[in-house]
Amino acid sequence: MAVNAPAIVLVEPQLGENIGAAARAMRNFGLSDLRLVAPRDGWPNPRAEPMASGATDILATARLYTDLPSAVADLNHVLATTARARELAKPTLSPRAAAQRLRGAGERNATAGILFGRERTGLDNEEMLQSEALIYIPTNPSFSSLNLAQAVLLLGYEWWLAGAADPAEDWPDELATGATHADRARLADHLVTELDAVNFFRPASKRAASVAKLRNLLFRVELSSNEVRMLRGVVHALATGEPGERQES
Amino acid sequence: MAVNAPAIVLVEPQLGENIGAAARAMRNFGLSDLRLVAPRDGWPNPRAEPMASGATDILATARLYTDLPSAVADLNHVLATTARARELAKPTLSPRAAAQRLRGAGERNATAGILFGRERTGLDNEEMLQSEALIYIPTNPSFSSLNLAQAVLLLGYEWWLAGAADPAEDWPDELATGATHADRARLADHLVTELDAVNFFRPASKRAASVAKLRNLLFRVELSSNEVRMLRGVVHALATGEPGERQES
């Protein structure tokens, strides 16, 4: 589905567990090209698979390289994650801005990769300067250490979102439009009538204010037509002590 | 720093490790109010601490509840994460839209919480309907299972970003403005002159096109003034075989 999804390039990852968890995070967000540069404990690493939770195909097709230049040789665009501000003459992108850049590259059929450094020390300057831009994941400055797989997860998530059609808000059909104003007005009138019938609004001097509050509530909250109908049934039942006609759900 | 950061409410979490990892993710993004509803293995749980990686204060101050209503009794707004579309008459928000809603609530001094369900089965419908809206984290539909702590991480990340002033792109000062057009033009002229001197552009009929490509390149790429100066030194050195004046870095 994804055209030219970026490669995830782990530079000298130390723990097999993190490689497995990174593969799982990749799979969550439609990435599949995993590249390992000189993993500390060799490759394959049996500790990776349990953490991959089923994303074992990504581990199986991961490619192993002895150095960074060969791992990224075929890529058009290389971005490098960093945990701190650098002195390099490169722009630093947010994950979101990076994701947009990567999507743009993919749409042009360009290939791209994201570099992630060692768990303890990250990427060194020599590795960073082989990128066209840095990516800095904003975190709480007093507790900024992210697990390797978490960093992969956040970049994957942003990449996925940058290309996804997922709406920011998705309303169920019945709520997407919701009850009409007239539905609500009838409900409010019905309710007030029944409450007046039991002398609910006392003292009379405060009735107007109380009715206004109640109406405000009924006009403010999100209600479907069905829910308004149900509430009218509730009001009727409470007021009359009779169940009324059968409610449709 | 954060005003009314949302509470993270874990409903019947099964694994202590996940509670610890969730605490770490909370700390990464400035959240601190952890609430546990009937954790399967009791509380405190010694398996949580190693995964918290230093966010042990969040574990120490976590509050334990026997049921969901008591865990959220004091909160003004309750959102519930879900892994799939639901039949409930509630809006479903993206993590980003949810984060904006939570920030807005915080600015009004309203309190809020995000519900996360059990690792295996999530929240049940009865729990979901105690929320004002659902949050759906978009993932690859063919591999959508997120670890509990990863879900907390993504919501924390979006909440942090929604309130952070982190720029989408941050350019080093020297690149923020970059070389002037005149700098680049001088470099291009210098280069072409030197290349002409060695009869680089052959045949003559293609010279204009080749020069245009080269000039296009020099005007297109991002270059600082220092870099242009350095490149002029490079051209000079290559053309003359002499190092020229000392380059400033």
Collapsing DSSP to helix, strand or coil, B122 comes out as: strand
Collapsing DSSP to helix, strand or coil, B169 comes out as: strand
Question: Where does residue B82 rank: exposed (0-12), middle (13-18), buried (19+ CB within 10 A)?
Answer: buried
Integer CA distances (angstroms), B186 to A89, B191, B212, in order: 21, 8, 15
Integer CA distances (angstroms), B18 to A166, B48, B116, B159, in order: 27, 7, 12, 20
In this prediction, residue B95 carries a pLDDT of: 96
Beta bridge partners of residue B65, listed in sequence order:
B37
Predicted confidence pLDDT, tens digits, chain A (249 residues):
446 899 999 999 999 999 999 999 999 999 999 999 999 999 999 999 999 988 999 999 999 999 998 998 888 888 999 987 666 777 889 999 999 999 988 887 888 999 999 999 999 988 888 888 899 999 998 888 899 999 999 999 999 999 877 667 777 776 666 677 788 889 999 988 888 888 888 788 888 888 887 888 777 777 888 888 888 888 887 777 766 654 443
Work out whether strand A63-65 and strand A34-37 pair parallel, antiparallel, or are unpaired: parallel
Give yes or no for a contact between B151 and B116, defined as CB atoms under 8 angstroms apart.
Answer: yes
Work out whether strand A92-93 and strand B169-170 pair parallel, antiparallel, or are unpaired: antiparallel
Whole-number Å distance between alpha carbons of A162 and B144: 17
Whole-number Å distance between alpha carbons of B123 and B126: 8
Q: How far is B5 from chain A (nearest CA, A)?
A: 13
Length of chain A: 249
Q: How far is A156 from chain B (nearest CA, A)?
A: 9
Amino acid at A16: G
Collapsing DSSP to helix, strand or coil, A49 comes out as: helix
Q: How far is A199 from chain B (nearest CA, A)?
A: 31
Structure tokens at A72: 């990224």
Beta bridge partners of residue A169, listed in sequence order:
B93
Structure tokens at A102: 């990567």
Residues of A in contact with B174 (CB under 8 A): 89
Nearest-CA residue of chain A relative to B150? A150
Structure tokens at B18: 């996940």
**A143 touching B (Cβ < 8 Å):** yes
Phi and psi torsions of A245, nearest 5°: -70, 155
DSSP string, A199-214: T-S-SGGGHHHHHHHH
Structure tokens at A204: 């009379």
pTM of structure? 0.81
Collapsing DSSP to helix, strand or coil, B135 comes out as: strand
A88 and B146: CB-CB below 8 Å? Answer: no
Give yes or no for a contact between A26 and A152, defined as CB atoms under 8 angstroms apart.
Answer: yes
Chosen from B86, B143, B145, B153 to mutate, greatest number of chain A CBs within 10 A: B143
Give yes or no for a contact between A33 and A57, defined as CB atoms under 8 angstroms apart.
Answer: no
A150 and B153: CB-CB below 8 Å? Answer: yes
Tokens 């509380």 locate to: B43
Nearest-CA residue of chain A relative to B53? A145
Please report the residues numbered 209 through 228 in chain A whose beta carbons come closer than 8 angstroms to any beta carbon of chain B.
222, 224, 226-227
**B230 touching A (Cβ < 8 Å):** no
Work out whether strand B112-116 and strand B169-170 pair parallel, antiparallel, or are unpaired: unpaired
In this prediction, residue B240 carries a pLDDT of: 78
% of chain A residues with pLDDT over 90: 46
In this prediction, residue A161 carries a pLDDT of: 93
Give yes or no for a contact between B74 and B43, defined as CB atoms under 8 angstroms apart.
Answer: no
Give yes or no for a contact between A9 and A113, defined as CB atoms under 8 angstroms apart.
Answer: yes
Ordered strands of the A92-93 beta sheet: A63-65, A34-37, A7-11, A112-116, A77-82, A133-136, A92-93, B169-170
Residues of B in contact with A150 (CB under 8 A): 25, 28, 150, 153
In this prediction, residue A3 carries a pLDDT of: 61
A168 and B136: CB-CB below 8 Å? Answer: no
Closest CA to B95 of B108, B104, B82: B82
Work out whether strand B34-37 and strand A133-136 pair parallel, antiparallel, or are unpaired: unpaired
Chosen from B26, B169, B229 to mutate, greatest number of chain A CBs within 10 A: B169
3-state helix, strand, coil in chain B (%, to 5): 45, 15, 40
Give yes or no for a contact between A218 and A188, defined as CB atoms under 8 angstroms apart.
Answer: yes
Chosen from A120, A134, A170, A220 to mutate, greatest number of chain B CBs within 10 A: A170
Whole-number Å distance between alpha carbons of A57 and A36: 15
A96 and B174: CB-CB below 8 Å? Answer: no
All residue ranges of chain B with pLDDT < 50 are 1-2, 246-249
Length of chain B: 249
Residue A50 is given by DSSP the state H
Q: Could you tell me if the ipTM is greater than 0.85?
A: no
**A27 touching B (Cβ < 8 Å):** yes
Phi and psi torsions of A113, nearest 5°: -145, 155
Q: How far is B156 from chain A (nearest CA, A)?
A: 9
Amino acid at A138: P
Structure tokens at A196: 């007046």
Collapsing DSSP to helix, strand or coil, B110 comes out as: coil
In this prediction, residue B244 carries a pLDDT of: 64
